[in-house]
Every structure is written in structure tokens, then in C-alpha cells.
Amino acid sequence: MRVLVVEDERKIADALKRGLETEGYEVIAVSSGEEGFFCLNSESFDLMLLDLMLPGRDGLEVLQTIRNKGFSLPVLVLTGRDTVEDRVLGLDSGADDYLVKPFAFPELLARMRLLLRRGKHETEKPLALADLELHLPTHQALRNEQLLDLTSREFELLAYLLKHQGHVVSREMLAHDVWKVRERSTPLDNVIDVNIARLRRKVDDPFPLKLIRTIRGVGFMATASDDHAATQ
Amino acid sequence: MLLLSNLRIRFTLLYGAALIVTVLIFSIGIYVFVQRMLINQINNHLHKDLATVSGYLLHDQAGLFKLASMGPVHIFRVRDGNRDLVASEQWKNSELTGLLDGGDFAAQPKSITTPSRRLYRVQSQLFPLGEKLYQVVVAHEESNYQRTLNTLALIILLAFPVSVALSLVVGYLIAGRVLSPITTITAKAQEISAENLSARLPVNNEENEFATLATVFNLTFSRLEESFERLRCFTADASHELRTPLTAIRSIGETALQQQDISPECRETIGSMLEETDRLAQTVESLLLLSRADGSALNKEPAELGNLLADVIEFLSVLAEEKKQEINFERLTSLHLSADACMLRRAFLNLVDNAIKYSPEQTTITVKLFREADGSTVVEVGDNGSGIPDAEKEKVFDRFYRLDNGRSREKGGTGLGLSITKAAVEAHGGLVTILDNPVGGALFRVVFPSPKQDS
């Protein structure tokens, strides 16, 4: 998978390149819209990460040009602006998704996976991890063939973690996708922490193999691997 | 408005007083002048009469008797020593006889009142003729003149209150007219400071004091708007500028944690730094939210306050459960309003979260939505904590203010929660205050005025 990163902040670009390469992507990072456009014309990419605030021609212009020229690769926009107008403008100009700075790297990975999978009708993985099984239609969770007593919020949270199993899930992702809240706040963080703690009590406490892991400063991950280092 | 009408009344009274003094001086002047004129007239008559009578006395004594019965001089008497030589008919009728029998009593004209209250002006003169000394007395009835004077006084006394009343009415009307631009300016200025600072007072082209006043006001508004806007822009710009380095720190840290070959200590360090970065990012977001509320850049959509509160309570109920607290929601009314639901939700999220945070375990937190008699809608959030001292009640809404420093920082948060609540509520036309909860603890009261005043 080849990814084109258009980002003028060198440190962010470097970190993205390093992180994505660790994930197994092939990354070309450029620092202006013109360079990005040139790369796109000469090589082929599977996905583009585009910063909206660029020197010279700004991201939106680049995006429109790309779409007008008929490039159909998925574009994930990174923006420092966070107003509804900006989002609408970004999506209207042909972005497939957007992330507001400062974004969480795990969320970037999750969005990228989603964009790359789009169009390919993969059979959805059954939601299961080790001896934990989730039945989505009935909202039932079983571990070691025992029915777990979960609230609907806890079930959704567990399902979300399992969907991203092996990958870190950030608090932003939980806020957006499980709680459907746009902005993060201190109360929300507390609510997430309490729900994770409760989920652990029910899912992990009675069993020797712990499945829900906290990655300090980053987020949470469902994994059966005993490896202490967080594999993403 | 009260002040202005007071000014109007003061204006009128001042004007009235000035007019009263002027009219008074003028009236007295006229009265005195007329009185003097009349007296001079009588005195001239007396003088002439005296000349006539003395002329007859000295040259034609027979004519003197004819004069007494008929002639131009009506009231006179000529005495020869203590004996009357001659007295006119009218003198005899005038009751003056007994009154003027003294010596040389009226060398200058003099007013005399008879017992029957008739007023005469008299003058006498002595004429030596041979051996004899004659005394001539002439008199003029003064009552006629006095009547004229009385009529004048009556006219003045009647006209005075009428003119004063009239002047007060006219003064009041003029004051109203003069002050009406102030009323307009006040109303408009009030509107500007309440609604938007970008509006300006109308300045008419006339070169008068009110145009100057409006211009000065407008300059002040401009400066106010400018500094307000600058502050808001600064917050917004600073927040945007902070996002880029925050993104870099975060990306660098998170990608570093991806690597397999770093030590657990290193992992801890980076994790801890990322946590603080996250807190900083949240502070920046909160500041942006505040600048958005201050600038009233709201994304308004129809919302219902009761639903919003129920949503907030449901959302936070898990935190209350952890502390074995109950949240009692009394939903006695509903309020449909056009609101930035996200921002308003945040306002109440912070209030209820605070209540949970500061109430001890196994207590009840009350949230009450009700309507006041005046039509305003009230939300009260009551906790069972240690309450907030009166001196701190205003300060807790200040940005970055922390009540009891160490304890609240330990409980997390950016120190902006309540200022966000205040800004968000005020951006929606409401008002938030802190009272003492009757059962102990603090009671946060949010009031939205009735929609009638709102529109």
C-alpha cells in the first residue's frame, strides 16, 4: 500500500512517515501542494493524506485540482480548522474523510484502514477474540461460553474494541463512534474511563487471560497477545 | 429612563423658576411705575388747584365764593385764622373738616383716609394777605386712582399663575423635544451593547451637540468592538497556532510507542507526556470553544431543554453510579429554543459533572427544570458538597480559577469548565448564578428569560 503524505510541518510529516512505515505502508512525504500534485502524476498511490493549511496553494485548491483531473484515490484531509463550514467545504471538494488536528495516530490508522477497505467487499470478521464472542443481532456477549451481563453501552464499547482488535483505539474514536459526541471534554473522559473499568470487571476479572489493555497516553486495545509492547 | 424624565422635570422647573422671577420683577416694576405716575398726576392737580384758589383769594375774593359752589376746583377750603372763610360744597360732604383743622399740616401732598374709609390726597398752603394769614387746603379724591391701581394688581395677580402654568407646560414640552435625541441615543446604545457591538448610532448631519455625542459614543463602541474582537481573535489564533506543535508532539509520541524495541520505562515516559499533551490539547479546545461562545458564532438549531438535560444526565449517570449517588431529575416544564446544542449540552454537562464530583458518596443530586411566575425558565442543579463560600461565588466562573487549589486539580479538568458554562449560557441569553442549596452544598441556577423578551 502506497501512501502520499502532503504536510508542510516537517516534524509531523516525519512522525507520520515513521509511524505508517512501521505499520507496513510505503510512504512518500512532500511538503507542498505542487510537489504532491507532481508525485501523483508520476507515480501511483492508494491513498493520500492532505494537510489543508499549506504554503502556496492551499489544501482545498489542491484537492479540487486533483478531482478535476480525474484522480479517484481516497483522500483523507488533515485540518487545523474545526468548524462545520470547513468540514462541509472539505467534503464537498472531494475529501473522503477528515481529521482535526491534533489527531490521534491510532484514529488516523483506523480511518485509513476504512478508506482502503472501502469498495472491497470483505467478509466481516466475526466479532470474537480468544474465548470471547459477540453476537451483534442479539447484543449478547459470551466468554468461555458464559453469558456476560453488559449494559448496551458496554456492549457497544466492547464491540468497537473487538472490531479494531489488535489496534489501538483512541479516546477520540470512542467519543465519536460509541458516544456520538463531537467534542471531547473532561466529563466524557471520566465516563469513558468508568465504562472501560466496568467492562474489565465483567470481561477480564474472572478470567486469567486479560483482553482489554490500556495504552497509556494513547488509548485502549483489545488483544489476546501476551506481548507487553503494544502491537498496532 | 427614570433619570431622563427626572432631567426633563428639572429642566422644566428651572425654566419655570427663571420665568417666575422675571415676571415678578416685571410686574412689580409696572405696578410701582403706574402708582408713581398716578400720584404725580394727582399732585399736579393739587398744585394747579392750589394756584387757582390762591389766585382768586388774592385777586378776586368774590370769585372765590362762586368757585366754591361751582367751578373747576371741587374740594377746597380757605381758612382765615381759625375760621372758615369759604369751603366748597364737596368739601362739606367730604368728612375732611374735622380731620384737617390743625396748623400747617400738609405743605407737601399727603394721603388721608376718612373714618368712612374714603381716600383723599390733600395739600395746603399759607398765604399772608395784609395782616391776615390765610390757609388754603385743596383735596382730590384718591379712590379712583386707587381703583385703577387695584385693577392693575388684580390683572397681574390673575395673569401671574396662568402665565407660570403656561410656561411650565411649554417648558415641559420643549424639554421633551430637546431631550428626545438623548432618549433615542440611550435606547439605541442599550440595544448595541446588548445585541451586537457592530451596530452604530445614527448621526444626523446637523452640527449640534447630539450629533457630537452620538459620534463620541460611536467611537467608543468602535474601540470596544475592536478590543473585544482582538481578544477573541487572539484566543482563536493562539489556539490554532498551538494545534500544529501539539499535533507534532502527539504524532511523534504515538509513533514512538509503536516501536517494539523501546523499554517499559521509556514507554511510561512517553505515555505520561502524551497524557499531558492531551490535557493541553483539551485546554486549547476549551479556549476555542470559549472564543466561539464570546463571538456568538453559534450553530443554532431547534432544541428542547428537557431532552438536552435528560441526555446529559443519562450520559453522566455512570459516574454517579460509581459513587452510589442518585440523580433526581424533576422535569416540570419544557423549553423549545434555538440553540447550539453542542455548546449548551457542554454547559449542563459541566454543571452536573461538578455536582457529581463534589457530592459525597450515597447522596442525591437534584436537577430541576421549571418555569417561574414571570415566564422565565429555570434549571437548578443542586449538590451535597461543601458548598461555595459567598466570596468565591462570582470567582468560580473566572477562567482558570480553581476553588481549593490542590483538590480540584487532582480531580482533573482544565479549569475552564464553569467559565464555559457561563459563556455558553450567556450566549443563549441566559444567566447563571450560584445559591446555597437548602439541604447543604451549592445550587447552580440557570435562568432563561421568557421568549417574549427574547425575541
CATH number at residue A42: 3.40.50.2300
**DSSP codes of every residue in chain A:** -EEEEE-S-HHHHHHHHHHHHHTT-EEEEESSHHHHHHHHHHS--SEEEEESS-SSS-HHHHHHHHHHTT--S-EEEEES---HHHHHHHHHTT-SEEEESS--HHHHHHHHHHHHHTTS-PPPPPSEETTEEEETTTTEEEETTEEE---HHHHHHHHHHHHTTTSEEEHHHHHHHTS--SS--HHHHHHHHHHHHHHHHHHTTTSSS--EEEETTTEEEE-----SS---
Please check the confidence at residue B100 and state whether its pLDDT lies above 90. no
Residue B263's closest chain A neighbor by CA? A229
Lowest mean pLDDT among A33-47, A83-97, B75-89, B231-245: A83-97
What pLDDT shows up at residue A226?
A: 67
Of chain B residues 382-441, which have a CB less than 8 A from chain A?
Answer: 412-414, 417
| Ranges A114-123, B3-12, B386-395, B418-427, most confident | B418-427
A61: pLDDT strictly greater than 50: yes
Same-domain check for residues A31 and A76? yes
Query: Is the Cβ pair A104, B254 closer than 8 Å?
Result: yes
Contact B407, B401 (CB under 8 A): no
pLDDT in tens, B22-67: 888 999 999 999 999 999 988 998 888 888 888 888 888 788 888 8
User: For residues A216 and B275, is the Cβ–Cβ distance under 8 A?
Assistant: yes
For chain B, say whether A22 makes contact (Cβ under 8 Å). Answer: yes
Domain ranges of chain B: 2-147, 209-293, 299-454
Please provide the average confidence, as pLDDT, over all residues in chain B.
84
Give mean pLDDT, residues B3-9. Answer: 70
- Nearest beta carbon to residue A183 from set B259, B275, B342: B342
CATH number among 1.10.645.10, 1.10.287.130, 3.30.70.20, 1.10.3720.10, domain B209-293? 1.10.287.130
Q: Which of A14-18, B290-294, B303-307, B373-377 has the lowest mean pLDDT?
A: B290-294
My answer on whether A112 and A146 are in the same domain is no
For residue A101, the distance in angstroms to the closest alpha carbon of chain B comes to: 6
Q: What is the pLDDT of residue B453?
A: 44
Pair type for strands B442-448 and B377-382: antiparallel
Task: Give contacts of A81 with chain B, Cβ < 8 Å.
Answer: 240
**Count of positions (residues) in chain B:** 455
What CATH architecture does domain B299-454 belong to? Answer: 2-Layer Sandwich (3.30)
- C-beta separation of B76 from B147 below 8 A: no
Span B134-142, mean pLDDT?
84
Distance from CA of B355 to the nearest CA of A (A): 11
The end-to-end CA distance of chain A, in Å, is: 17
Tell me which residue range forms the domain holding A78: 2-117
B402 versus A164: the higher-pLDDT residue is A164
Q: Does A227 reside within a domain?
A: no
What does the pLDDT read at residue B407?
A: 45
Mean pLDDT (whole number) for B353-364:
92
Of B390, B388, B322, nearest to B351 (Cα)? Answer: B388
Q: Could you report the per-residue pLDDT of A131-143, keeping only the tens digit for each?
A: 899 988 888 899 9
Q: Which of B251, B262, B300, B409 to mutate to test the interface with A (most CBs of A within 10 A)?
A: B251
- Could you please state the CATH topology (level 3) that the domain comprising B2-147 is classified under: Beta-Lactamase (3.30.450)
